[in-house]
């Protein structure tokens, strides 16, 4: 029997072994830069946009659990809840250009929490999957466009935090590969971790499917689109029916679409037009966001 679930949609008009070097300085918040971190929660503003957390509050839902911890744990940073068990964690996020970026470049961000400061990251692999090449893992290197930015933070009882941000190709080039899934897997200590981001072309915008809260997911554009209404998200809640699966991923049909409130965001007037669409999610929903 196929599964039925509700997903909220936001429509906006190799192998390597790492030797980590611990640094004491926090992430530098360069005004209007691609890695600006306004609330100093170790999540750049562009990442908070993509994940629907607040760039002005390090604890979006006010439950005394930092956004960073809830993000890497694939928790619910928008929903008040209790802490999850402490362990090694890893989370992959893809973001688009900040307004005014002349290169129109995209970024891949990898966030890691070491619950045990001495835990070793013994392996790491990143790749791209596309439904048109089912079962084929394409090395991530062809998407990279510059030197990665590496930062760490000692967060006491919340562990050692690591951020690696890699500049990627322009949105125009990335859009030519859609739909696709960027995924990473690693062994940290004795724990196997895998995280992925599914990227889709919805209404001409690159969107990623992310956990939204209370068991639902959201497809959020990877960057604000000033031409499409500035920094305003447009929310559409979708009822998806799983209708099949194959080498390219799990196939869902949108069987209902309706508007709902989401903080200060407003609904897209074209929301109901998505009923009947088929969406293929490479890698399935199981690896989106977390382990």
CA–CA separation, 280 and 290 (whole Å) = 19
CA–CA separation, 27 and 39 (whole Å) = 11
List the pLDDT tens digit at each of the 291 positions of the chain: 444 444 444 444 322 333 333 333 344 444 557 899 999 999 999 999 888 888 889 998 899 999 999 999 987 888 888 888 999 999 999 999 987 788 889 999 999 999 987 888 889 999 999 888 888 999 998 898 788 999 999 999 999 999 999 999 999 999 999 989 999 999 999 999 999 898 988 778 888 877 776 666 776 789 876 554 444 444 566 677 889 887 777 888 878 776 655 544 455 556 677 788 887 776 666 656 544
Q: Which domain holds residue 104?
A: 14-224
Continuous H helices in the chain: 45-51, 67-72, 171-175
Number of folded domains that form the chain: 1
Contact 20, 285 (CB under 8 A): no
| Domain assignment of residue 115, yes or no | yes
Report pTM.
0.81
CATH number (domain holding residue 40): 2.60.40.10
Give the residue among 234, 230, 173 at the shortest CA–CA distance from 203: 234
| DSSP character at residue 185 | E
Q: For residue 60, what are its two tokens? A: 């979006």
| Domain assignment of residue 260, yes or no | no
CA 47 from centre of chain: 7
CA–CA separation, 64 and 183 (whole Å) = 30
């Amino acid at each position: 029997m196929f599964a039925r679930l509700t997903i909220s949609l936001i429509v906006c008009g190799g192998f390597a072994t790492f030797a980590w070097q611990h640094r004491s300085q926090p992430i530098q918040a360069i005004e209007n830069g691609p890695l600006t971190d306004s609330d100093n929660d170790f999540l750049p503003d562009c990442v908070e946009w993509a994940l629907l957390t607040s760039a002005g509050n390090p604890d979006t839902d006010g439950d005394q659990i930092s956004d960073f911890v809830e993000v890497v744990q694939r928790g619910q940073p928008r929903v008040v809840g209790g802490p999850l068990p402490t362990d090694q964690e890893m989370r992959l996020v893809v973001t688009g250009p900040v307004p005014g970026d002349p290169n129109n470049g995209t970024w891949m961000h990898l966030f890691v929490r070491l619950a045990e400061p001495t835990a070793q990251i013994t392996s790491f692999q990143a790749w791209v999957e596309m439904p048109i090449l089912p079962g084929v893992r394409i090395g991530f290197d062809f998407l990279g466009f510059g030197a990665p930015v590496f930062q760490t933070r000692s967060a006491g009882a919340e562990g050692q935090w690591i951020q690696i941000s890699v500049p990627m190709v322009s949105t125009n080039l990335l859009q030519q590969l859609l739909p696709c899934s960027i995924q990473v897997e690693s062994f940290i200590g004795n724990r196997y971790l895998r995280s992925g981001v599914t990227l889709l072309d919805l209404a001409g915008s690159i969107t990623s499917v992310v956990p939204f809260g209370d068991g639902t997911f959201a497809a959020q554009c990877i960057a604000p689109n000033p031409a499409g209404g500035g920094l305003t998200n447009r929310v559409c809640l979708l009822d998806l029916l799983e209708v099949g699966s194959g080498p390219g991923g799990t196939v869902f049909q949108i069987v209902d679409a309706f508007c709902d409130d989401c903080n200060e965001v407003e609904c897209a007037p074209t929301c109901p037009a998505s009923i009947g669409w088929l969406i293929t999610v490479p890698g399935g929903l199981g690896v989106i966001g977390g382990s």
